[in-house]
Amino acid sequence: MGTMRKDYISERFAIVSQNDDKIDDSKKCPFCPGNESMTNPSLLSLVAKDGMLQRLQDSEDNYVEDWTVRVFESKNPAVSISAENSYSDRPLYSEPAYGYHYILVASEKHKDSLATISVEQWSNILVVIQDRMRWLYTQRGVTYVSIYINHGKEAGSVTAHPHINLVTFSTIPPLIEAEAESSHRILNEKGACPLCQSVNAETGGPRQVLQTEGFLAFCPWAPSHPYEYWICPKKHTTSFSKITQKEINDLSLMLRATLGGLSNSLKNVSYNLVFHLSPEKKNSRQIHWHIEVYPLTSAWSGLERGYGVFLNSVAPEKAAEQLGAACRKELAGLVGII
């Protein structure tokens, strides 16, 4: 299938995947109900029936109907368990792009978005993500499970239907590895988790966007994108897959309120949403898990791409003020509904 190629000098990886599958140019959305045959069979379909949620899956000639969340293997995967077992060493280092790539369809309604679905639906999504994560970490060759959202064409989305990507890797992604190493070093030097310190510093400050009982949303001190914000658990925790149903409900409220606020504040904005999670393997460096949201309001320049130095035209304090007002208004409406 594809290969993971490493940069000549740095630890940066690039996936090179020559996918020969034909792109379906029909006007039908493969993620909409009734078009299930356009995707791989579901591994999990969540169906609401008689006040209960049933976990079903497609059979060879029968597709589950009336689902609210649906998970299946991508037809155009970034990684694959059928990847060829080929390696090469530096300077042209490569290894198989081995892994699983799942698509989680977040709503049966095409016109929904992750900024408009209900808080309850967000809770269902997070429970399904936990379920898939736990299973994936039992599989051979899975060292890290990445979870990300591409919303809008500028963010890399190929369909407007709300969905989430789950992609596994046989190694820890370099950025997560660096974050874990830095967190471990600061913990040893200062005796405190750096993200716990950040949460304490940002709570009630000029960069706070919103807070719920267990989570804080804030624009980071040194953002890589204008209007970037993070969602962090207030208490120190390293495992997303082990958070309780109460915490899931609280996080669902935070995600819905902040994405709704972002959508209302910056009309038609594309964004990427990424879960920064600890690798759930023994002896791995751990991080205080959190979610990062990158609104794409402007293109990167040579400074960002060539040097990794980020130029921001909007101060995070100003961004937090604007987003905070929109998110608090959104939250008030949601609490009234709940």
**The 3-state secondary structure of 101-114, one letter per residue:** EEEEECCCCCCCCC
DSSP string, 213-263: SSEEEE--SS-SSTT-EEEEESS----GGG--HHHHHHHHHHHHHHHHHHH
CA Rg value for the chain: 20
Statement: residue 23 has pLDDT above 50 = no
pLDDT by residue (tens digit) across 78-113?
888 875 667 778 888 777 788 999 999 999 999 999
On the question of pLDDT at 146 being above 70, the answer is: yes
SS3 at position 159: coil
Token couple for 199: 């949460």
Predicted local distance difference test score (pLDDT) of residue 15 = 86
Task: State phi, psi for 202 to the nearest 5 degrees.
Answer: -90, -20
Give pLDDT, residue 82.
Answer: 79
The reported pLDDT for the residue numbered 26 is: 58
The token pair that represents 24 in the structure block: 């379906």
- Buried b / exposed e across 215-228, counting CB within 10 Å, b at 16+? bbbbbbeebebbbb
Helix/strand/coil percent split, the chain, to 5 = 30, 25, 45
- So what's the architecture of 188-337 in CATH? 2-Layer Sandwich (3.30)
Please, what is the average pLDDT of the chain?
Answer: 91
pLDDT (average), residues 162-174: 94
3-state SS string over 271-312?
A: EEEEEECCCCCCCCCCCCCEEEEEECCCCCCHHHHHHCCCCC
Give the pLDDT confidence score for residue 6 in this predicted structure: 86
Alpha carbon 330 to chain centroid distance? 21
The reply to whether 188-337 shares the fold of 20-75+99-169 is: yes
Query: Is 163 an active-site residue?
Result: yes
CATH topology of domain 20-75+99-169: HIT family, subunit A (3.30.428)
Confidence of residue 49 (pLDDT cuts 50, 70, 90): confident
CA atoms within 13 A on the CB side of 271: 27
> What percent of the chain is predicted at pLDDT more than 70?
94
- The whole-number pLDDT of residue 97 equals 81
Percentage of the chain exceeding pLDDT 90:
73
- Greatest Cα pair distance in the chain: 60
Q: In this structure, are strands 163-169 and 101-105 parallel, antiparallel, or unpaired?
A: antiparallel
Task: Indicate the pLDDT class of residue 27, thresholds 50, 70 and 90.
Answer: confident
Domain boundaries, the chain: 20-75+99-169, 188-337
Single out the catalytic residue among 101, 151, 161, 163.
163
How far is 320 from 219, CA to CA, in rounded Å? 6
The 10s digit of each residue's pLDDT in 198-256 is 999 999 999 999 999 999 999 999 999 999 999 999 999 999 999 999 999 999 999 99
- What are the tens digits of pLDDT across the range 262-314? 999 999 999 999 999 998 776 668 899 999 999 999 999 998 999 889 999 99
Contact 114, 149 (CB under 8 A): yes
